[in-house]
Amino acid sequence: MVADQFVSAGWLRRVRARTDWWRRPLVITVSLAATMAFLGWIAVLALTLPTRYLANHWNVAWVGFDVMLLTSLLATGWAMARRRPWTGTALMVSAAMLVCDAWFDVTTASGAATTLLSIGLAAGVELPAGAGLAWAATHLPVRRRTRPVRTRLQQRTAFTARERNGAP
């Protein structure tokens, strides 16, 4: 009884909070440093990359990305149907991939007709779908599978009960 109260009182959370005090500032510092480095890299790319580039395996790149997007959307639907705890992550990944697909469709289109078609699909299908998935991810109730925490006393009691019943 006392052990149950000890565990349910949040003692473990308080201990973890005391030992993890350094992680948040470290993550923030590394994130800001990476952001600054990435801004510099973007500037270098903007100044040095050519406006035209002939790429090998262009079809493999596009088909591969679309297969990854399809897989992401299938995993998202499956996670939603099965109420998996990682559904929010799957929703955000699918949303990000839809936005990336819209971006690359529009920016790599050549000719007036294909550019207009790409803009129409991006504005009418991909971006609204991505926004809907992102909205769903941020408004999804958090469901986590939790196992009941057993104290050593409870484990020992369960073990001795099995021994008494003749279980191996």
pLDDT in tens, the chain (168 residues): 455 555 555 656 666 666 677 778 888 899 999 999 999 999 998 999 888 888 899 899 999 999 999 999 999 999 999 989 999 999 999 999 999 999 999 999 989 999 999 999 999 999 999 999 999 999 987 665 566 666 665 655 655 555 556 655
pTM of the model: 0.68
95 with 159, same domain: the answer is yes
1 with 65, same domain: the answer is no
Residue 51 has a CB neighbour count (10 Å cut-off) of 4
Domain count for the chain, please give it.
Answer: 2
Q: What domain range includes position 5?
A: 1-49
Q: At what angle do helices 87-108 and 127-138 cross, to 10 degrees?
A: 160
60 with 142, same domain: the answer is yes
Q: Measured between alpha carbons, how far is residue 22 from residues 10, 26, 28, 36 in Å?
A: 20, 6, 10, 22
Question: How far apart are alpha carbons 29 and 63 in whole angstroms?
Answer: 38
